[in-house]
Structure 1
Amino acid sequence: MALICSVLLMVVTTASLTYNAFTAGRAQPPKGLRYVQAADIRTRYRTWGTSGSPVVLVHGAFEQVDTWSRLAPLLARDHRVYALDLTGDGYSERRGPYTVDHFTRQLLGFLQAMHLGGPGERPLLVGHSSGAAVVADAALRAPERIGSVMLLDGDALNTGAGPPPVLKYVLIDPYRTSLLRLGLGVDGLIRSVYDAQCGPACPPLNAAGVDQWRRPLQVPGAEAALWSMLGEGVPGLPANQVAQLAALHIPKSVVFGAQDDVFSKQTPQQTARRIGAPPPTLIPGARHLTMISSPRQVAAAVEAVARVS
């Protein structure tokens, strides 16, 4: 039996190494992307709108600038809208560590590069999912540069969420690389994950939509960054640090999809109380990707905060 297992392991390992060698050609970012140096990260970003107060959109894990493409044009009617790819995701330079501290330094560097944060230019920060921790940390570090904060489908907490620790020992190279590349090659798998997170109100993914989610995980450096981020777990802040937001005299808002099963039903109310925000806005029928499923409702919630900023 031991001999059979050893032979099987050798066969599987050889097959995995061979497959990885044949699929080693990495995808390239789309042409025409815009970049700026934000702290120590060459950062991809987009802007919408030419007038009005600034709104900065900060995505969550495994998302990117284009995740905001349904919401941002609505906000751009009355605001200058900015979105960036945090390092480790999208098309920004991959440079660890992939922690809230590093993401926050990148965000604050981005505000400086965009000349935001001065008198009359203090932005409203919207952080989705794990991006909620980044905007919360930015507000705590530089409250004089931030106009207001919205936590969108995120509680900003370090809950220890992430893959089971055993996967660190089971999913090792070359096998994890083979599994990742095989999975990314299955359009139906990408669509099923998207549908589960987004819900029936979201537009179905066409070929371009599948590529939007897949390609950032295929560019040079993406795989190494992914394994590092999975090792770190979902980024977040300690509860006592998040609670310090309550002492900041800036408008705060909490918005969740009413059917967001990433969190408990109590999370939106608990989050609003913790940060000293009004009762949360719950979007009926929406799940975790509210900026895709319900852009008009999210835009209305952003406007409500912007009016009191």
Structure 2
Amino acid sequence: MASEPIPAPLVAFAGERPPAPAWFTDALAVAPERTTHQGAGVTIETLAWGERGKPGLLLLHGGSAHADWWSHLAPFFASTHRVVATSWSGMGGTDWRPAYSMDDLMGEMLATLEATGLEEGPVKPIVASHSFGSFPGMAFAAVHGERIGGLITIDSPFLSKEMRAKRDFGRPPSREPRDTLVYDSFEQALARFRLMPAQTAENLYIVDNIARHSLREVKKPDGSSGWTWRFDPFMWSRMTRRDPAEDLAAAKCRLAITWGSRSVLFPDEIKTYVRQQAPAGTLFVEIPEAQHHVLIDQPLALVTTMRAVISAWDANDKAR
């Protein structure tokens, strides 16, 4: 028997914000610098916290997402780091492209490192990436790894092409023309927001904040206003990929690979394969009670994990 579809998580709130704990409200009160810069042929959206000259921390979001996926987590690092979250082309506030490639996305990373002061600190910047964001992140580690001090990946399975062909990871298909995705009201659009791959979520205040930043106002053919998503619906069908398992094996910087203990993307077979492919010295961390969307499921545990990894790398550097 087929399982029941997971309902859209924000329907019951009818556009109102779910109740949130104090730590979350306090984090969002630390407003980022919202800027753009040119790089790799597009205008790139960035959010930045912390002073230039501190150690750099670059945060990369997953597929069909945007930089504000990190807005409740980045402030936890702002006292010690220059923190930047960026939106990939085709997502968030960054330009769309006629076609997409890992080379383009790596170019965006290089441009962001240079434009936002992440390389002005006393050590090489650290990169943390969630889901799809780890594929260009790992390609960067393989091609430009000497530019960064390490890469922390979050629930990103680095599989061979053959392994990926056998699995459905819930990648969004090519969509209908964009006018079919326009909703009459902001509240109606919020009620349609779902996570991909589909999962339940307890921390709906995080889901709500992400969803609110996932929408943009547009004009409908009749001249009235409507709301639609801030990502290119044809991005996936126009994406040229690399082999992420090969990039993992070829990484030229330190790695920490983390995953949610309840993630559908990390069964035991995949954990074993990723461990086999990873370079010697790679750290592996399982985050308890998290599904794929670790940033939503266990945000404070993720902050602690990232802090621990960065501290371990810093201590290793000082011991040299």
The 8 Å contact of residues 148 and 251 in structure 1, kept in 2 or not, is answered as yes
Q: How far is 1:209 from its partner?
A: 4.8
Within a 5 Å distance, the mapping from 1:278-289 to structure 2 comes to: 278=282, 280-289=284-293
2:306 aligns to what?
Answer: 302
Distance 1:127 1:230 in 2: 19
Q: Give distance in 1, aligned partners of 2:183 and 2:240.
A: 24
Which structure is larger by alpha-carbon Rg, 1 or 2?
A: 1
RMSD: 3.4
Equivalent position amino acid for 1:287 in 2: Q
- Given the superposition, is the C-alpha separation of residues 162 and 101 from structure 1 closer, same or farther in structure 2, using an over 3 Å criterion? farther
Question: Aligned letter for 1:298?
Answer: L
Q: What amino acid is aligned across from residue 148 of structure 1 in structure 2?
A: G
Residue 14 of structure 1 corresponds to none
Residue 68 (structure 1) aligns with: 70
Q: Structure 1 CA distance, aligned partners of 2:179 and 2:275?
A: 42
Please tell me whether residue 132 in structure 1 is matched to residue 134 in structure 2: yes
Deviation at 1:155, TM superposition (A): 2.5
Structure 1: stretches of 5+ with no match in the other structure:
1-31
Aligned residues with identical type, % of pairs:
22
- The Cα offsets for residues 168-187 of structure 1, whole Å up to 9 and x where unpaired, read as 6xx6xxx5435433599443
Alpha-carbon distance between aligned partners in 2 of 1:216 and 1:85, rounded to the nearest angstrom: 18
Q: Report the alpha carbon displacement of residue 220 of structure 1 after superposing the two structures with TM.
A: 9.7
Report if the CA contact (8 A) 2:61-2:129 is conserved: yes
CA contact under 8 A between 2:216 and 2:228: conserved in structure 1?
no
- Contact 2:183–2:228 at 8 Å: present in 1 too? no
- How far does residue 226 in structure 1 lie from its aligned partner after superposition? 2.0
8 A Cα contact 1:198 1:289, kept in partner:
no
Equivalent residue in structure 2 for 1:231, among 231, 237, 244:
237
Equivalences for 1:253-268 in 2 at 5 Å? 253-268=256-271
The one-letter amino acid paired with 1:280 is: F
- The one-letter code matched in structure 2 to 1:37 is Q
Distance 1:33 1:55, change over 3 A: closer
The 3 A distance-change label for structure 1 pair 105 and 198 is farther
Given that residues 65 and 85 in structure 1 are in contact (C-alpha distance below 8 angstroms), is that contact kept between their aligned partners in structure 2?
yes
TM superposition shift of 1:107: 0.7
Deviations 1:7-58 (A, max 9, x none): xxxxxxxxxxxxxxxxxxxxxxxxx841111232211101112264211001
Whichever residue aligns with residue 86 of structure 1, its letter is W
CA distance in structure 1 between the partners assigned to 2:197 and 2:134 by the alignment: 22
Distance in 1 (CA, whole Å) between partners of 2:71 and 2:229 is: 25
d(CA) in 1 for partners of 2:92 and 2:179? 21
SS at match of 2:105: helix
Number of aligned residues: 265
Runs of 4+ in 1 over 6 A off after TM superposition: 162-165, 216-221
Question: Aligned equivalents of 1:59 and 1:110: distance in 2?
Answer: 14
Give the Cα–Cα distance (whole angstroms) in 2 for the partners of residues 299 and 164 of structure 1: 27
1:147 aligns with 149
Q: Distance in 1 between matches of 2:292 and 2:95?
A: 26
The runs of 5 or more residues in structure 2 that have no matched partner are 1-32, 219-225, 315-320
Correspondence list, 1:11-160, <5 A: 33-50=34-51, 52-117=54-119, 120-157=122-159, 159=164
Q: Show CA shifts across 1:197-232 (max 9, x none).
A: 4622453644x6533223399889967x321x1314
Task: Describe how 1:160-309 pairs up with structure 2 within 5 A.
Answer: 176-181=177-182, 185-190=188-193, 192-193=194-195, 196-197=198-199, 199-203=201-205, 205-206=207-208, 209-215=210-216, 225-227=232-234, 229-232=235-238, 235=241, 237-245=243-251, 248=252, 250-276=253-279, 277-278=281-282, 280-307=284-311, 308-309=313-314
Helix, strand or coil: the match of 2:88? coil
The Cα of 1:132 is off from its aligned counterpart by 0.5
1:236 deviates by 5.1
Deviates more, 1:140-149 or 1:152-161: 152-161
- Is the 1:257–1:287 contact (alpha carbons within 8 Å) kept by the matching residues of 2? yes
Deviations 1:121-164 (A, max 9, x none): 41111111011011111122222211101111112446356789
User: Does the CA contact (< 8 Å) of 1:156 and 1:242 recur in 2?
Assistant: yes
Distance 2:217 2:158 in 1: 24
Residues 212 and 114 (structure 1), Cα distance of their counterparts in 2 relative to 1, 3 Å cut? closer
Q: Under a length normalisation based on structure 2, what TM-score does the superposition of the two structures give?
A: 0.70
- Taking the aligned partners of 1:274 and 1:216, their CA distance within structure 2 comes to 44
In the other structure, the counterpart of 2:19 is none
